[in-house]
A = this chain, B = another copy of it.
Amino acid sequence: MRDVAALAGVSIKTVSRVVNGSPEVSAELRQRVSQASAQLEFHPNLAASSLRRRDGKTRQVALLIEDVANPFSATLHRAIEDVANTHDTLVFAGSLDEDPQRELELVRAAVQHRMDGIIIVPASSDHGYLHREMHTGTPVVFVDRPPRGLVADAVLSDNTGGAYRATAHLAAYGHRDIAFLGDDWSIRTVVERYEGYERALADQGLPRREEIVACDLSDAAAAARATQGLMRLPNPPTALFTSQNLVTMGAIETLQAMGLHHRVAVVGFDDFPAADLLDPRVTVVAQDVFGIGTLAIRRLFSRIAGDASPVWEERLETRLIVRGSGELPPSDGLIR
A interface residues, Cβ below 8 angstroms from B: 41, 43-48, 50-51, 58, 60, 67-71, 74-75, 77-78, 81, 88, 90-95, 108-109, 111-114, 132, 136, 249, 252-253, 256, 272-279
Whether the Cβ atoms of B71 and A67 lie closer than 8 Å is no
**A249 proximity list for chain B (CB < 8 A):** 273-274, 277
Whether the Cβ atoms of B112 and A95 lie closer than 8 Å is no
Whether the Cβ atoms of B78 and A68 lie closer than 8 Å is yes
9 residue pairs of the A-B complex, CB under 8 angstroms, read: A47-B113, A48-B51, A69-B78, A78-B95, A90-B109, A92-B92, A272-B274, A274-B277, A279-B279
User: A107 CB to closest chain B CB, in angstroms?
Assistant: 10
For the complex of A and B, the 6 pairs showing the least CB-CB separation, nearest first, are A69-B78, A274-B274, A47-B47, A279-B279, A74-B74, A69-B74
Select A41's contact among B77, B92, B132, B279, beta carbons within 8 Å.
B132
Nearest-neighbor residue (CB-CB) of A109 within chain B: B90
Using A69-B75, A273-B249, A277-B274 as known contacts, say yes or no to A95 and B81 having CB atoms under 8 A apart: yes
Using A41-B132, A74-B68, A278-B274 as known contacts, say yes or no to A94 and B81 having CB atoms under 8 A apart: yes
- In Å, the complex CA distance between A325 and B58 comes to 51
**A278 proximity list for chain B (CB < 8 A):** 274, 277-279
- In Å, the complex CA distance between A132 and B41 comes to 8
Whether the Cβ atoms of B60 and A68 lie closer than 8 Å is no
Nearest-neighbor residue (CB-CB) of A106 within chain B: B90
7 further interface pairs, Cβ-Cβ under 8 Å (given A47-B114, A81-B95): A41-B136, A68-B81, A69-B74, A71-B71, A71-B74, A88-B109, A252-B277
- In Å, the complex CA distance between A94 and B252 comes to 34
Whether the Cβ atoms of B95 and A92 lie closer than 8 Å is no
- In Å, the complex CA distance between A46 and B47 comes to 10
User: A59 CB to closest chain B CB, in angstroms?
Assistant: 8
Whether the Cβ atoms of B92 and A60 lie closer than 8 Å is yes
**A95 proximity list for chain B (CB < 8 A):** 78, 81
- In Å, the complex CA distance between A108 and B276 comes to 40
Using A93-B93, A95-B78 as known contacts, say yes or no to A44 and B277 having CB atoms under 8 A apart: no
Whether the Cβ atoms of B91 and A43 lie closer than 8 Å is no
Nearest-neighbor residue (CB-CB) of A41 within chain B: B132
Whether the Cβ atoms of A51 and B41 lie closer than 8 Å is no
**A91 proximity list for chain B (CB < 8 A):** 92-94
Whether the Cβ atoms of B50 and A47 lie closer than 8 Å is yes
- In Å, the complex CA distance between A43 and B137 comes to 13
- In Å, the complex CA distance between A74 and B65 comes to 13
